[in-house]
Amino acid sequence: MTTDELGEVVILNCDTKVFQSPFDDVREMPADIVSQMKKQLSHSNEHIGDRVSKIFLGVLVQLISGYRDAVEFRETSKTFNRDKFIESRPKHLRPFLAKMMELQIFQQFIDERLQMLNTGLGYSDEFELETARYAEKMKKRRHYEFLNNVKEKVSAS
């Protein structure tokens, strides 16, 4: 089968470490996320089972895990505030996220989440579990950075 027959697909050959895409998305992504993703994908001996999909899930978590910060509670339902979402994210991610929010897949994701919240179902899928892990990791990192900052100030005195 040729790539023409496959259509618009992204191919990652784990054996040769060749990435093929008809899109130029990587150039648009924040450099730190691309660098981290390339580093993780370069370990081809670890690409068994669902490892590759977990790497991409991790990228999505870094990009959009803060979507809950933009869920607003109205009298009868919950809504998503796009501006609040963008402002809640780190500055270096904002230009990419502004473009990402224009994608139909992002809107579907938000619509599904709001529907689950508005019907009282809640959610606890793999994305939400990874989001919770990521939030805990970031909380520990901020705490560690705070303690280092205090140590530096104390030793400088």
Q: Which pTM value belongs to this model?
A: 0.74
Helix (H) or strand (E) holding 156: helix 126-156
> Which SS3 state, helix, strand or coil, does residue 79 take?
strand
pLDDT attached to residue 59: 92
Q: Sort strands 78-80 and 71-73 into parallel, antiparallel or unpaired.
A: antiparallel
Whether pLDDT at 154 is above 70: yes
Whether the predicted pLDDT of 44 surpasses 80: no
Q: What average pLDDT does the chain have? A: 85
Q: Is the pLDDT at 19 greater than 80, yes or no?
A: no
| Residue 12 and residue 41 in contact, taking contact as beta carbons nearer than 8 Å | yes
13 has a pLDDT exceeding 80: no
Return the pLDDT at 46.
65
Q: Could you tell me if 127 and 57 are in contact, meaning their C-beta atoms sit under 8 angstroms apart?
A: yes
pLDDT tens digits along 85-132? 999 999 999 999 999 999 999 999 999 999 988 888 777 789 988 988
- Indicate the pLDDT class of residue 47, thresholds 50, 70 and 90: low
**How far is residue 97 from each of residues 82, 94, 128, measured CA to CA in Å?**
10, 5, 19
* Tens of pLDDT, residues 64-82: 988 988 999 988 889 999 9
- The dihedral built from the CA positions of residue 136, 141, 146 and 150, taken in this order, carries a sign that is positive
